[in-house]
Amino acid sequence: MIIGDRVRLRAINHDDLQLFVEWLNDPEVIEGLEQYFPLSIDQEEKWFENMLSSPPEEHPMMIEVKSNDGWLPVGNCGFMRIDWRVRSAEFGIFIGEKQYWSQGFGTEAVQLLMQHGFDTLNLNRVFLRVYETNKRAIRAYEKVGFSHEGRLRKAHFYNGEYIDVLLMSMLRQEWKNKT
Ligand SMILES: CC(C)(COP(=O)(O)OP(=O)(O)OC[C@H]1O[C@@H](n2cnc3c(N)ncnc32)[C@H](O)[C@@H]1OP(=O)(O)O)[C@@H](O)C(=O)NCCC(=O)NCCS
């Protein structure tokens, strides 16, 4: 468990899958993600089985936020495509419970994940891809300290239109300078 002030990251259990199916069938949630088809519980079960056989460092984690009723699951985040020679990884995040958007929880979850990435996994570079239209996500990443480093022109197609994909990254030294 990775524990912060208002957010904690824990392992995903089989019991969580129904929540993921609800979140990942919500058009507003998946607008910022690569998911674009209706998702069934069977597909999610298969994803879960595959995930368990992937390296533990690449297992996504459940984001939970502190509430009056205890810790509530709201979304997930994790590293992908870790390159151990270059010590580089991509990360992804979503908060599926929309009522928790824009209250700083995403920023805190990314900060916790970066702390884990740089101080525990000993990564040197973390990068992400974000759609240019996803202003909330871009702002959250800027707040954590990510720099803009590139633009993949018309690399995404959504709602009948091509959209640029932005690349952002943070290096270990930049993280250290901020903390
Ligand atoms: C992206 C996401 C993880 C961010 O988490 P969050 O908890 O909503 O974000 P935070 O509250 O930490 O930060 C968002 C910031 O963007 C700002 N913001 C919100 N809407 C905005 C908009 N339309 N334009 C500009 N800034 C905006 C917020 O005010 C806040 O900035 P502030 O703290 O300076 O006021 C979350 O919104 C989410 O999961 N969205 C759906 C899935 C997704 O897009 N995932 C990212 C894929 S790259």
pLDDT tens-digit series, residues 109-162: 999 999 999 999 999 999 999 999 999 999 999 999 999 999 999 999 999 999
Is the CB–ligand 1 distance for residue 144 below 6 Å? no
Pocket lining: 137 vs ligand 1, CB cutoff 6 Å: yes
pLDDT computed for residue 178 by the predictor: 86
Ligand 1 centroid – CA 36 distance (Å): 20
Q: Report the alpha-carbon distance of residue 111 to residue 140 in Å, rounded.
A: 10
Report the atom number in ligand 1 closest to the C-alpha of 131: 48
| For the chain, domain boundaries | 2-126
Specify the CATH number for 2-126; select among 3.30.420.40, 3.40.50.620, 3.40.630.30, 3.65.10.10: 3.40.630.30
Give the Å distance between the CA of 140 and the centre of ligand 1: 5
Distance CA 91, CA 144 (A): 13
Q: Indicate which residue's Cα is closest to atom 47 of ligand 1.
A: 32
Q: What is the pLDDT of residues 83-112, one digit of tens each?
A: 999 999 999 999 999 999 999 999 999 999
Distance from the alpha carbon of residue 45 to the mean position of ligand 1, in angstroms: 29
pTM check: above 0.85: yes
Q: How far is the CA of 85 from the centre of ligand 1 (A)?
A: 32
Q: Where are the beta strands (DSSP E) in the chain?
A: 2-3, 7-11, 61-67, 70-83, 88-95, 125-131, 147-158, 161-171
Q: Is the pLDDT of residue 179 over 90?
A: no
